[in-house]
């Protein structure tokens, strides 16, 4: 099964030889390192089986771009491997429509592709450029740093719940379903942060788990002020102004950035984010004691996965 993957007119000077030979030939930029990430999305695992081909195409690239954002890298090249149960030109056409929307937006070149017959899955390998010293490593967090998150969290999780449980409120939750299917990679926020070489991660597994990744890599802990977490009006309305905070901090797929920065840097970071109209919320502080502690209205709450009833 060999398809011609619908390509855009994107040409980059650093692509010496594109798709069509045994390998692509790519000319890396001087003075920068390559930020490279691979992610597989499987139908029924990483997106509901009902997801449209166009949304799958968009989301597959978006979640990989989100990894670049979390390193502060500038997107450049992408390769795409798709498995489809049956040859289906129109599905693939729709997939590429969604995929190419981000290709065009970020001026990325598709440098390799493979289409095979198998159960529906998409594997993407993405490459971006970043200054080695300015990459946003998870290990950069330091005691006393503020913790921030871009945008709102919890929307994608609520959107997923609406789809999987066929909620009667699904119509009112279309905003959240769209957040699930069409996450916006925080490339610009990552670029801004790369001026400060702070610690960052994209929220794919849920805020709690991903903040914990930063803490472990940096050998620090965190105190999270749960009631400060930014949530959308749609989510607030669904929960009648009383969000299920455990859901909010454990739901994945929001692809916002969570990052830490020193109190001194925080003024400039906040100003730059505001200047670029990126919503930013301070949600806690890095501490010496390991682990992530969740505070709700001044009281410590147990956010362990078994601890739902404690919320």
- Give the residue ranges of DSSP H helices in 106-193: 155-164, 174-181, 187-193
Cβ proximity to its own copies, 91 vs 259, nearer residue: 259
Residues 78-107, interacting with its own copies (CB under 8 A): 79-81, 83
Q: Is 40 one of the binding residues for its own copies (CB under 8 A)?
A: yes
Bridge-based pairing state of the strands 109-117 and 33-42 = unpaired
- Work out whether 226 is an interface residue with its own copies (CB under 8 A): no
Mark the segment that binds its own copies (CB under 8 A) among 5-13, 19-27, 218-226, 295-303.
Answer: 19-27
CB of 248 closer than 8 Å to CB of 231? yes
Nearest distance in Å: CB 310, its own copies: 26
Judged by CB under 8 A, which of 112, 223, 239, 262 binds its own copies?
A: 112
DSSP 44: T
For residue 155, give the nearest of 206, 93, 226 by alpha carbon: 206
Cα–Cα distances (Å) from 62 to 57, 99, 101, 157, 216, in that order, read 9, 8, 10, 17, 26
Q: Is 256 helix (H, G, I), strand (E, B) or coil?
A: coil
Spatial contact of 187 and 65, defined as CB atoms under 8 Å apart: yes
**Number of residues engaging its own copies in binding (CB under 8 A):** 56
> Whole-angstrom Cα distance, residue 153 to residue 206?
9
Residue 150 contacts its own copies per CB under 8 A = no
By CB under 8 A, tell whether 287 contacts its own copies: no
Q: Give the residue, chosen from 135, 153, 160, 229, that forms a contact with its own copies under the rule CB under 8 A.
A: 135
Q: Which stretch binds its own copies (CB under 8 A): 93-101, 197-205, 277-285, 300-308?
A: 197-205
Least distance in angstroms from the C-beta of 128 to its own copies: 7
Q: Which two tokens stand for residue 7?
A: 């390509």
What tokens appear for 48 in the block? 């509901």
Residue 199 CB coordination number (10 Å): 27
304 part of the interface to its own copies, by CB under 8 A: no
Is position 164 an interface residue for its own copies (rule: CB under 8 A)?
Answer: no
179 binds its own copies (CB under 8 A): no
Q: From CA 159, how far away is CA 181, in angstroms rounded?
A: 9
List 50, 105, 107, 119, residue binding its own copies (CB under 8 A): 119
Residue 186 near residue 148, CB atoms below 8 Å: no
Tally of CB atoms within 10 A around 183: 24
165 makes contact with its own copies (CB under 8 A): no
40 or 289, CB closer to its own copies?
40
Among 5, 62, 70, 203, interactor with its own copies by CB under 8 A: 70
Q: Does 111 bind its own copies (CB under 8 A)?
A: yes
Q: Are 284 and 225 in contact (CB under 8 A)?
A: yes
260 forms part of the interface with its own copies (CB under 8 A) = no
Minimum CB–partner distance for residue 227 and its own copies (Å): 28
Question: Which residues are near its own copies by CB under 8 A?
Answer: 16-17, 20-28, 30, 33-40, 42, 45-46, 67-68, 70-71, 73, 77, 79-81, 83, 111-114, 116-119, 121, 123, 125, 128, 130, 132, 135-139, 200-202, 217
């Amino acid at each position: 099964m060999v398809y011609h993957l619908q390509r855009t007119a994107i040409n980059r000077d650093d692509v010496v030889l594109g798709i069509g030979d045994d390998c692509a030939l790519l000319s890396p930029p001087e003075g920068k390192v390559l930020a490279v990430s691979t992610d597989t999305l499987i139908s029924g695992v990483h997106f509901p089986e009902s997801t449209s081909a166009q949304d799958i195409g968009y989301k597959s690239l978006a979640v990989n771009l989100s990894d670049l954002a979390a390193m502060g890298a500038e997107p450049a090249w992408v390769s795409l491997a798709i498995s489809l149960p049956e040859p289906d030109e129109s599905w693939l056409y729709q997939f590429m429509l969604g995929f190419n929307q981000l290709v065009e937006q970020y001026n990325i070149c598709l440098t390799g592709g493979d289409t095979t017959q198998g159960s529906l899955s998409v594997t993407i390998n993405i490459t971006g450029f970043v200054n080695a010293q300015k990459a946003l490593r998870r290990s950069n967090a330091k005691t006393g740093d503020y913790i921030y998150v871009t945008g709102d969290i919890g929307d994608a999780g609520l959107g997923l719940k609406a789809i999987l449980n066929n909620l009667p409120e699904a119509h009112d939750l279309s905003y959240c379903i769209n957040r699930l299917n069409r996450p916006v990679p925080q490339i610009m926020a990552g670029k801004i942060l790369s001026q400060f070489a702070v610690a960052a991660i994209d929220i794919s597994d849920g805020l709690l788990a991903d903040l914990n990744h930063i803490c472990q890599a940096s050998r620090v802990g965190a105190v999270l002020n749960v009631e400060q977490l930014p949530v959308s009006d749609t989510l607030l309305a669904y929960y009648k102004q009383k969000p299920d905070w455990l859901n909010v901090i454990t739901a994945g797929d929001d692809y916002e950035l969570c990052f830490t920065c020193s109190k001194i840097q925080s003024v400039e970071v906040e100003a730059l984010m505001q200047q670029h109209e990126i919503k930013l919320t301070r949600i806690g502080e890095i501490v010496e004691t390991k682990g992530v502690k969740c505070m709700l209205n001044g009281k410590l709450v147990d956010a362990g996965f078994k601890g739902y009833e404690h919320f």
